[in-house]
Amino acid sequence: MYTLPHHFNKLLENIYPPEERIKKAETIPGNLRTFLKKHDGIKTVDPYSRLAGSYARKTYVGDIKDVDLIILIDEEFEEKSPNSVLRLLKNVLEDYEGRGDIEISHQRRSIHMFFKDYDFHLDIVPALIPEGIEKALLIPDKPKEKWVKSHPLGYGKELSELNGKKGQKVIPLMRLLKHWRDYHMQYKRPKSYWLECMVYNKMYNGEIGTEGKSLSEVFNMFTDKIYKGYEDHLSEKDKVPWIKDPMLGNNIAGNWERSHFETFMNRLDETRKWAQKALKAEKEEEAIELWQKIFGKEYFPSSVEESAKTLSDALKATSAFVTPMGRVERERPSEGGTIIQPHRSYGE
């Protein structure tokens, strides 16, 4: 079986965001967080703000073009309507100057800022913390005209812990799945958070084993498990799967359109069959070609001699680390990682 670990390591590197985009994702929200903390137009409470979304969870791929920012507001706002709080936040954000051309608009649960000069989007969500930062937040919902529960910070923490328990394979699998979606689905794409929850729930429930399994095998098991789990819905008119929120237990995919679901299943069926053939291939070249159908030739390498040498050198060093995204680095990564014990060579 050709599991191609070096190829998948290189694939993860290739879909990792460019350093320039990572820097933008650090500085733009950082500057705004400082601005909001100091602004007296809206009363915030300690710890004032938190990053959320795929950027905070390190599950992003490609260019980072959007970041979610939660602003923790005083309990006095619970007596106000969600719409009035969103309007107030928008007025405060309109005071933000000196950062280039910015468009500011209302969304269902947030205020959206588009930094045109950087092609960067920021969603700012006001949130109440009635039970403290470790518990579910209350965020505004304009159409429902009420405050609703959300637990993004708790999910981020649980995901990090699950990733560690599952051999650092959960977050890399999420990243591979998001890249696969972007590569194969220009339209009718399922939301990133839906894909994350599909992975999280299957991993958490123990339906996909990771011990002793390569990332290629884990990807194959996941795509097959999801397809078979959702297959019955295809024969039931207008029905779509129920996707559980890991923290609150509600269905997060209630607005998944039937045609979008069918497109997802068609692409998934193709992919799981290619992955199965790749793992059964008799020649490495055949396996590589099949994985390139799944992830793209420009991302999945035909040859990884140089990257394999880099990996080998790292493993022979005094220490090396595997990041939650699956990269191997000599220094301990800021996002945390698992240490690889040094290897020794004995004999000729």
Cα gap 194→203, rounded to integer Å: 14
Record the tokens describing residue 58, joined without a space.
Answer: 């390190």
Q: In this predicted model, what pLDDT tens digit does every residue of 80-136 receive, in sequence order?
A: 999 999 999 999 999 998 667 999 999 999 999 999 999 999 999 999 999 998 999
- Is the same domain home to 220 and 291? yes
> Which residue range is the domain that position 219 belongs to?
155-303
- Is the same domain home to 127 and 173? no
**Dihedral-angle region of residue 328 (phi above 0 means left; psi in -120 to 50 means alpha; beta otherwise):** beta
Q: Residue 13 burial by CB count (10 A; 0-12/13-18/19+): exposed, middle or buried? A: middle
The pLDDT of 299-303, averaged and rounded, is 94
- Is the same domain home to 94 and 233? no
- Is the same domain home to 68 and 142? yes
Q: Tell me, yes or no, whether 5 lies in a domain.
A: no
pLDDT of residue 100: 76
Q: Tell me, yes or no, whether 337 lies in a domain.
A: no
The pLDDT of 162-166, averaged and rounded, is 96
pTM of the model: 0.85
222 to 157, 195, 206, 252, 285: CA distances (angstroms) = 22, 11, 11, 20, 23
Q: Tell me, yes or no, whether 332 lies in a domain.
A: no
Q: In this predicted model, what pLDDT tens digit does every residue of 267-290 receive, in sequence order?
A: 999 999 999 999 999 999 999 999
CATH of the domain at 60: 3.30.460.90
Query: In whole numbers, what is the pLDDT of the chain averaged over residues?
Result: 88
Beta carbons within 8 Å of 48's beta carbon, 6+ residues apart: 33, 36, 37, 71, 72
pLDDT of residue 323: 54
Cα gap 163→244, rounded to integer Å: 18
Question: Which of 131, 150, 169 lies at the terminal end of a domain, its last residue?
Answer: 150
Record the tokens describing residue 158, joined without a space.
Answer: 């649980």
- Is the same domain home to 250 and 212? yes
3-state secondary structure of 282: coil
329 to 83, 159, 165, 307: CA distances (angstroms) = 46, 22, 20, 12
Q: Tell me, yes or no, whether 338 lies in a domain.
A: no
Question: 146 forms bridges with which residues in the sheet?
Answer: 141
Q: In this predicted model, what pLDDT tens digit does every residue of 304-335 receive, in sequence order?
A: 765 444 444 544 544 445 554 444 454 445 45
Cα gap 154→310, rounded to integer Å: 36
